[in-house]
Amino acid sequence: MILPLFRGPNLMTKLTRYERLKRLLACFSSEDHVLVLINADPDAIASAMAVKRLLWRRVASVTICHVNVIKRPDNLSMVRLLDVRMVHIDELDQTRERKAVLVDSQPSHDERFKTFRPEAVIDHHPDTGVKAPFVDIRPKYGATASIMTEYLRAARIKPSAKLATGLFHAIKTDTSNFERKTLLEDLKAFQFLFRHANIPLSRRIEQADLRFDFLKYFRIALDEMQLRGGRMFVHLGEVVNPDVCVLVADFFMRLASVDWSVVSGINDQKLVIVMRNDGIRKNAGKLAKESFGHIGSAGGHQSMSRAEVPFERLDFLPGETDRKLISRWIIDQVEKRTTSGVQKPASDTEMKKAIFGRPS
Ligand SMILES: [Mn+2]
């Protein structure tokens, strides 16, 4: 049976889940070698796993191919713990004729996608006017994994624990544990996946956000942190990855007595300053702009922000590699902008109380 080709997202919303599934599957035959193209993050990886499962025994082969380099330790552990087999685009045998499927992205999102003419595009980002034989773009969804869960359910496939865990982790990640805008459909998918997922495994993936070589920055952070009022400051010096500043800043926010955390590091000839606060009558984005916007780029939201100052703009500091000097300068910049005026540095008892809790 030849199904009419689908050419727009509006028609798609009127189709039942089963009809959508039928149309997607009708794009492929048993001789096809399928390439699932992704920009690897948890949602894209899990969605690609779901496509592979949907096409299992229906096509000749399915290869998952990522265009980015996976660096984040939690993403690396997801790939490892869920046994996801993928190839980087540079290692792909491009001579082979393949039908491409793009999930959690659209062709215009990456230069390297543009060289493929995808057979199917399934995504939840705003529609960029994708033209393909099969298009299913639902921008209101919190995750592509929720859409893929609907396809699996329409196909009456019971997901393996690893696939379910991947999709479960993807929805948690893309919705920030449902703190971001989501649909009832995301919750329904989540509820379904919960029954099949390995929850300790999902937690393990989530927790694995540290690399061994990050630990030394935690030592610097604990040795050199300065608590002033409720504000925690530390400058980590040269860091291998600016993500370290985010991890340390989030770590300090776990202290009940800390209501601001300002953590900086030097990476790629730039001073990166990461700010976090408790979200109560504070604006991290504004503070970052006021403190560092005149000398670099700065921006963010109410409770999280980031500023980047090119190294050469710091030439007024006599020794820009001196951690203490940079730390001093950052504290000055931030404290100059705060309305409450000059804050006294924390006393030893205040510091101890913050770290170890109330002394008995
Ligand atoms: Mn996504």
Q: pLDDT, tens digit, for every residue of 128-158?
A: 999 999 999 999 999 999 999 999 999 999 9
Residue ranges matching CATH 3.90.1640.10 in the chain: 9-207
- Give the CA distances from residue 18 to residues 57, 151, 155, 156, 278, in Å, rounded to whole numbers and listed in that order: 19, 8, 7, 10, 45
pLDDT score of 359 more than 60: no
Asked if the model's pLDDT at residue 3 lies above 70, the reply is no
Distance CA 47, CA 36 (A): 9
168 CA from centroid of ligand 1 (Å): 12
Whole-number Å distance, alpha carbon 222 to ligand 1 midpoint, is 35
Q: Is the Cβ–Cβ distance between 109 and 125 less than 8 Å?
A: yes
Q: Which protein residues have a CB closer than 5 Å to ligand 1 (ion)?
A: 43, 104, 144, 174
More confident residue, 121 or 350: 121
Task: Tell me how many degrees the CA angle 62-120-3 measures, rounded to the nearest 5.
Answer: 105
What is the distance in A from the centroid of ligand 1 to the CA of 228?
Answer: 39
Mean pLDDT, the chain, whole residue set: 89
Q: How far is the CA of 43 from the centre of ligand 1 (A)?
A: 5
Alpha carbon of 75 to ligand 1 centroid (Å): 14
Ligand 1 centre distance from Cα of residue 179 (Å): 15
CATH code for the part of the protein at 9-207: 3.90.1640.10
Q: Which fold has domain 217-356?
A: Diaminopimelate Epimerase; Chain A, domain 1 (3.10.310)
User: Which residues share a beta bridge with 273?
Assistant: 264, 307
The span from the first CA to the last CA of the chain, in angstroms, equals 78
What DSSP string describes 113-170? GTTS--SEEEE-SPP----SSEEEE-TTSS-HHHHHHHHHHHTT----HHHHHHHHHH
pLDDT attached to residue 340: 45
CA–CA dist 43, 168 (Å, integer): 9
**358 CA distance to ligand 1 centroid (A)?**
43
174 Cα to the center of ligand 1, angstroms: 6
pLDDT of residue 55 exceeding 90: yes
Residue 134 vs residue 15, higher pLDDT: 134
For residue 285, pLDDT over 80 is answered with yes
| Residue, of 22 and 325, whose pLDDT is higher | 22
CA 176 to centroid of ligand 1, rounded, Å: 11
Q: 47 CA to middle of ligand 1, Å?
A: 9
CA of 355 to the centre of ligand 1 (A): 37
Compute the distance from residue 216 Cα to the ligand 1 centre, in Å: 32
**Residue 12: which pLDDT band, with cuts at 50, 70 and 90?**
low
Question: Does residue 163 surpass a pLDDT of 80?
Answer: yes
Identity (one letter) of the amino acid at 268? D
Distance 212 CA to ligand 1 centre (A): 28
- Distance from Cα 203 to the centre of ligand 1, integer Å: 19
CA 143 / ligand 1 centre spacing (Å): 5
Nearest Cα residue to 134 out of 89, 99, 159:
99
- pLDDT given for residue 123 in this prediction: 97
45 has pLDDT over 60? yes
Residues 6+ apart with CB under 8 A from 290: 337
Model confidence at 2, in pLDDT bands (50, 70, 90)? very low
pLDDT at 350: 53
**Integer Cα distance of 141 and 183 in angstroms:** 6
Position 281 scores a pLDDT of 86
Q: What is the pLDDT of residue 342?
A: 40
Give residue 142 CA to ligand 1 midpoint distance, Å: 7
Reduced to 3 states (helix: H, G, I; strand: E, B; else coil), residue 196 is helix
pLDDT-based confidence at residue 337 (cuts at 50, 70, 90): confident
Write out pLDDT tens, residues 207-227.
Answer: 988 989 999 999 999 999 999
Interval between CA 104 and ligand 1 midpoint (Å): 5
- What pLDDT, in 10s, does the model give residues 70-104? 988 999 999 999 999 999 999 998 888 899 999 99
Q: Above 90 in pLDDT, residue 29?
A: yes
Q: Report the run of H or E that residue 271 belongs to, with start and end.
A: strand 270-277
Which segment of 23-27, 221-225, 293-297, 340-344 scores lowest on mean pLDDT?
340-344
Phi, psi at residue 300, to the nearest 5°?
A: 155, -165
Compute the chain's Rg from CA coordinates. Answer: 24
CA of 313 to the centre of ligand 1 (A): 36
How far does residue 18's CA lie from ligand 1's centre (Å)?
23
Å from CA of 124 to ligand 1 middle: 6
* Distance in Å, CA 316 to ligand 1 centroid: 43
Q: Where in the chain is the domain with CATH 3.10.310.40?
A: 217-356
